[in-house]
Amino acid sequence: MAAEKAEMDALKKECDGLRAQIEAARKAVNDGSMSAAASGVASVGRVQLKLRKTLKGHLAKIYAMHWSADSRQMVSASQDGKLLIWDCFTGNKLVAVPLKSAWVMSVAFAPSGNLVASGGLDNICTVYNIKAASPKTLRELDAHTGYLSCCRFLSDTEILTASGDTTCCLWDLETGKQKVIFTNHIGDCMSLALSPDMNTFISGACDSLAKLWDLREGACKQTFSGHTSDINAISFFQSGNAIITGSDDCQCKMYDLRSDQEVICYQDASLNAGVTSLALSSSGRLIFAGYDDFNCHIWDSLKGEKVGVLSGHDNRVSCTGVPDDGMGVCTGSWDSFLKLWN
Amino acid sequence: MAEAQQQQQQEEGGEKEKEEEQQQSSPVEKTEPDEGAEEPKEIAQTTPSRPLLSTRSMSIVDPDDDTPNMIVYRKIEDIITRIQDETDGVPIRTVKSFMTKIPSVVTGADIVQWLMKNLSIEDPAEAMHIGSLIAAQGYFFPISDHVLTLKDDGTFYRFQAPYFWPSNCWEPENTDYAIYLCKRTMQNKTRLELADYEAENLARLQRAFARKWEFIYMQAEAQVKIDRKKDKIERKILDSQERAFWDVHRPVPGCVNTTEMDIRKCRRMKNPHRVKKSVYGVIEEGTQSQSPIHTPLHHCRKGTKEDVEKEIVFLNTQLDRHCMKMSKVAESLIAYTEQYLEYDPFVTSPEPSNPWTSDDPTFWDLEASKEPSQQRVKKWGFSLEDALKDPAGQELFLKFLESEFSSENLRFWLAVQELKRIPQHEVAQRAQDIWAEFLAEGAPSSINLDSHSYERTSQNLKDPGRYSYEDAQDHIYKLMKSDSYSRFLRSNLYQDLLMARKKPETEQGRRTSLEKFTRSVGKSLTGKRLTGLMQSS
């Protein structure tokens, strides 16, 4: 017994030693701050966006939304038990998908535009074919032991899910079976994002860590710490070398994969509300972050300054999204409305 | 001066920040009286973030509590204190109506006016917005409606008792709600009649608590007895405050529910020691507050020796990783955003217009057309990724490679990309097909791989999967990037398209492409040619 304990202690000591070395290596490359480097960059000025459309149709809190790859259609999920697919140019509702379980937390559009997926407290990720005459359930992916917090399609044949059971999972849609289970987080996984080249993905969890995973190897490649509370939102910077996270600790952070550490922190003394969601403009220069204070604040990603705000929702902003063509930003709220701004 | 700053904030186009967070400071500083100047100054030094009040705030929030909700409650409660002040607040009066008196009310219009004057708000709509946010939290309420918003008219409002304030961390149980609805049905008063949704709630609760309904009924009776002892006017006020409390915690269907937590976080309570659950002194034994949405906590895995050993391996890989200098990282991120800034519709207006703004889809039509704009063609020159991402760019690059008799590289790359997307049951066959087409002995579109990648790949194919060709694909991609791509950018095929719609920038255009040419000629002379490419004409 004592020998086992001694062994464990020795191993743990080795871990601590390695961690200290890693920290030292990180410090060694930390030869200047991002905001200092960006001081020479031209300012974007005050970003004042106009509300272009308000999409009304849901009857309860909107929990999630996702743009289609065509940058025109968008799917939203509400706790009124429906998914709505919108043509954002005309403002029309194209398809309504009734859900078995109203407690939905996440929704995704497949790149092909043929499928949408959703899931929530039922622990199941349900995939629907929306090109059929009426929306048809294609698959029910049922293996998670916790709520489904996020899902993203790789293609019409594979989908990634993040769950409150602390794991992320890659599924094969043909068989409906799990292909790879990504385990490493010790808190509920809240959000995930695919890299531009689709070879890796990142996840944010309630253990305040963000992790980078390799889809091919099925393993965690990097871990980023710094937040002091749940990470609710996560996204890749367009170049694929950096990631942005949003947390309940009221901050957003950018981490760079190459320097393996935090690059810049987006925080403001007047912001006392948690970050619920975030999205980047197509150049990556602007970050749109939805907060619990009913607003969506706009940050200059390089200088770390707040450059604008989108006010108008009567309740928490629960989801934010910028389409691939970057024409504008969509915010969804617990007030049951989606708003389009640019 | 502070006033002017306030004005400026409001002029900034239509921004409606949660005003209480911004507007507190200056008006309060102005009203600070001269008497007792010493004390307030000291307070200011220790808690500089809190604005000074001439009267003691009724707020029950600990000034050092810096949890997000508490900060906001404190700000609201400071406003609520001032608005009820006898001299500087709104006129709260008893109104005579028909044969009754309505005690302790103020009109919505009065509240709106007060907010505008005392929080320096110019737009009545903004005042109503803040007022509605405060009402939604239950700090004041319309006496004749369950819906908690502020109207700028003669509607009567009453202020909530501090006992019921949200800063008490109320999480009232369903048993209390049942007692409340029950007791209302016991009294023969029109004003206490249940609304439809309340009657439905009561019916549902009766079914849910069928076995302990007798207990609930008794509690309700006891509450009625207590209430009867109170003075008539006092009862009117207390009844309305109690109703407003329940309007916050059991809102009318369709209304904003300020007490709802994100269901994903429900399991973990923020202030477990401070939560108040019982309104009527009824402690529920055994059952936790439980709705069907609470899932059982999964236990954290205990670290085993294996876990620690895995962690050590992981940490060692981390340590071995090369860390890029922060200055280089910053440089690269800045360079990236700068380059794509002109393609970011939030920063640079797209030509001819942004469809969201102009309601004109021409931009999208042009993007989809076979004739890409000059701006789009320019983007293909940023990186091979950008060229391949655009279907038109991919097409042109393929055409170029065909002219150099090296199109098999791109076709291989595209085939492998497709392999990663097709249904699982087709993967094995397709992997074999790719081998036959590109890598086998005497393959029709033979690609050149170094022996190491070739070995690895043929090994992988013993158990073919989506990622069997990762190594090979990587190798071919790097080859295209360093060799063919730069020649593509200098080729007539690309340059003609790039310069086709150029305005009088042509001189500069030719010069830069000439520079590129001379630089690349140097490169290709030293570069090793792995594929039998013919010279481009």
Model confidence pLDDT, tens digit, residues B20-37? 333 333 332 333 333 333
Q: What are the backbone dihedrals phi and psi of residue A133, each rounded to the nearest 5 degrees, phi first?
A: -55, -45
- Decide if pLDDT at B19 tops 50: no
Put simply, the answer to whether A8 touches B308 (Cβ < 8 Å) is yes
- Smallest CA–CA distance, residue A133 to chain B, in Å, is 23
pLDDT value at residue A172? 94
What tens digit of pLDDT does each residue of B276-316 get? Answer: 778 887 765 544 443 333 333 444 455 678 888 888 999 99
Q: How far is CA A332 from CA A58, A256, A266, B140, B265, in A?
A: 11, 28, 22, 28, 19
Contact A157, A173 (CB under 8 A): yes
| DSSP 8-class letter at B438 | I
Of all residues in chain A, the one with the smallest CA distance to B354 is A327
Of all residues in chain B, the one with the smallest CA distance to A300 is B337
Please state which of the ranges A177-186, A220-229, B370-379 shows the lowest mean pLDDT. B370-379
Q: Which of A310, A288, A320, A318 is nearest to A301 (CA)?
A: A288
B 127-156 residues inside an 8 A Cβ radius of A: 132-133
pLDDT band, residue B140 (cuts 50/70/90): very high
Q: Which of A258, A238, A264, A234 is nearest to A246 (CA)?
A: A234
A30, A105, A172 ranked by CB distance to B326: nearest = A30
- In B172-289 the beta strands, taken as DSSP E runs, fall at none
- Chain A residues with beta carbon closer than 8 angstroms to that of B311: 15
Tokens in use for B432? 């074999």
| Rounded Cα gap, residues B316 and B321, in angstroms | 9
Instruction: Write the CB contacts of B200 (distance below 8 Å, at least 6 apart in sequence).
Output: none
Put simply, the answer to whether A18 touches B332 (Cβ < 8 Å) is no
The pLDDT mean for chain B works out to: 79
Put simply, the answer to whether B356 touches A327 (Cβ < 8 Å) is yes
Q: In this structure, which amino acid lies at residue B276?
A: K
- Decide if pLDDT at B132 tops 80: yes
Put simply, the answer to whether A15 touches B315 (Cβ < 8 Å) is yes
DSSP B261-312: PPTTTTTS-S-TTT-B--SSS-PPPS--S--TT-PPPPPPPPPPHHHHHHHH
Residues paired with B190 in a beta bridge: none
CA atoms within 13 A on the CB side of B253: 10
Query: Does the A47-341 domain belong in CATH 2.130.10.10?
Result: yes
Select from B346, B365, B376 the residue whose CB has the most chain A CBs within 10 Å, as the one to mutate to test that interface.
Answer: B346
| Rounded Cα gap, residues B166 and B158, in angstroms | 16
| Rounded Cα gap, residues B68 and B6, in angstroms | 24
Long-range contacts of B337-341 (CB under 8 A, 24+ apart): B337/A283, B337/A284, B337/A285, B337/A301, B337/A302, B338/A41, B339/B382, B340/A238, B340/A282, B340/A283, B340/A284, B340/B382, B341/A283, B341/A285
pLDDT value at residue B305? 82
Put simply, the answer to whether B354 touches A32 (Cβ < 8 Å) is no
Of all residues in chain B, the one with the smallest CA distance to A276 is B262
Contact A200, A212 (CB under 8 A): yes
B260, B298, B334 ranked by CB distance to A302: nearest = B334
Put simply, the answer to whether A32 touches B327 (Cβ < 8 Å) is yes
With an 8 Å Cβ cutoff, is B340 touching chain A? yes
- Chain B residues with beta carbon closer than 8 angstroms to that of A340: 356
pLDDT value at residue B517? 55
- Decide if pLDDT at B506 tops 60: no
Instruction: Write the CB contacts of B165 (distance below 8 Å, at least 6 apart in sequence).
Output: B60, B73, B77, B138, B139
| Rounded Cα gap, residues B51 and A176, in angstroms | 59
Put simply, the answer to whether B321 touches A46 (Cβ < 8 Å) is no
Q: Which of A325, A327, A321, A328 is nearest to A76 (CA)?
A: A321
Q: How many contacts (CB atoms, under 8 Å) link A and B? A: 243
Contact A203, A162 (CB under 8 A): yes
pLDDT band, residue A109 (cuts 50/70/90): very high
Put simply, the answer to whether A272 touches B17 (Cβ < 8 Å) is no
| Rounded Cα gap, residues B183 and B193, in angstroms | 10
Q: How far is CA A249 from CA A241, A271, B167, in A?
A: 24, 10, 20
A29, A173, A197 ranked by CB distance to B324: nearest = A29
SS3 for A224? strand
Contact A78, A58 (CB under 8 A): yes
Tokens in use for B340? 């794509």
Instruction: Look at the block and give the residue holding tokens 């309505």.
Output: B102
With an 8 Å Cβ cutoff, is B467 touching chain A? yes
Q: What are the backbone dihedrals phi and psi of residue A124, each rounded to the nearest 5 degrees, phi first?
A: -110, 145
Break chain A into its structural domains and give their ranges.
47-341
What tens digit of pLDDT does each residue of A168-222 get? Answer: 999 999 999 999 999 999 999 999 999 999 999 999 999 999 999 999 899 999 9
With an 8 Å Cβ cutoff, is B525 touching chain A? no
- Smallest CA–CA distance, residue B231 to chain A, in Å, is 39
pLDDT, average across residues A100-111: 95
SS3 for B376? helix
A105, A175, A314 ranked by CB distance to B264: nearest = A105
Contact B410, A145 (CB under 8 A): no
Put simply, the answer to whether B337 touches A22 (Cβ < 8 Å) is no
Q: What are the backbone dihedrals phi and psi of residue B483, each rounded to the nearest 5 degrees, phi first?
A: -110, -75
- Smallest CA–CA distance, residue A302 to chain B, in Å, is 7
Put simply, the answer to whether B68 touches A273 (Cβ < 8 Å) is yes
Q: What sign results for the dihedral spanned by CA atoms B219, B220, B225, B227?
A: positive
**B134: burial class by Cβ within 10 Å (0-12, 13-18, 19+)?**
buried
Of all residues in chain A, the one with the smallest CA distance to B426 is A174
- Chain A residues with beta carbon closer than 8 angstroms to that of B328: 258
Tokens in use for A334? 């617990």
The CA R_g of chain B, rounded to the nearest whole Å, is: 36
With an 8 Å Cβ cutoff, is B425 touching chain A? yes
Put simply, the answer to whether A52 touches B318 (Cβ < 8 Å) is no
Q: How far is CA B353 from CA A74, A137, A255, B415, in A?
A: 21, 39, 34, 37
pLDDT value at residue B54? 53
pLDDT band, residue B57 (cuts 50/70/90): confident
| Rounded Cα gap, residues A59 and A75, in angstroms | 15
Buried b (16+ CB within 10 A) or exposed e, B66-84: eebbbbbbbbbbbbbbbbb
B 300-339 residues inside an 8 A Cβ radius of A: 300-301, 305, 308-309, 311-312, 314-316, 318-319, 321, 323-334, 336-338
With an 8 Å Cβ cutoff, is B13 touching chain A? yes
pLDDT, average across residues B325-336: 94
SS3 for A210? strand
Select from B344, B376, B467 the residue whose CB has the most chain A CBs within 10 Å, as the one to mutate to test that interface.
Answer: B344
pLDDT band, residue B6 (cuts 50/70/90): very low
What tens digit of pLDDT does each residue of A264-321 get? Answer: 999 998 788 899 999 999 999 999 999 988 889 999 999 999 999 998 888 889 999 9
Contact B213, B206 (CB under 8 A): yes
pLDDT band, residue A17 (cuts 50/70/90): very high
Q: What are the backbone dihedrals phi and psi of residue A128, each rounded to the nearest 5 degrees, phi first?
A: -115, 145
pLDDT value at residue B520? 52
| Rounded Cα gap, residues B266 and B262, in angstroms | 6
- Decide if pLDDT at B450 tops 80: yes
| Rounded Cα gap, residues A196 and B94, in angstroms | 66
What tens digit of pLDDT does each residue of B143-172 get? Answer: 998 889 899 999 999 999 999 999 888 888
- Chain B residues with beta carbon closer than 8 angstroms to that of A14: 312
CA A159 from centre of chain: 15
Pairing between strand A296-300 and A305-310? antiparallel
| Rounded Cα gap, residues A68 and A88, in angstroms | 10
- Smallest CA–CA distance, residue B32 to chain A, in Å, is 23
Q: In this structure, which amino acid lies at residue A220?
A: C
Cβ-based neighbour number of residue B399 at 10 Å:
14
A25, A241, A292 ranked by CB distance to B332: nearest = A241
Q: What sign results for the dihedral spanned by CA atoms B40, B41, B47, B49?
A: positive
- Decide if pLDDT at B388 tops 70: yes
Select from B10, B323, B351, B359 the residue whose CB has the most chain A CBs within 10 Å, as the one to mutate to test that interface.
Answer: B323
What tens digit of pLDDT does each residue of B176-191 get? Answer: 999 999 999 988 777 7
| Rounded Cα gap, residues A295 and B159, in angstroms | 27
- Smallest CA–CA distance, residue B239 to chain A, in Å, is 28
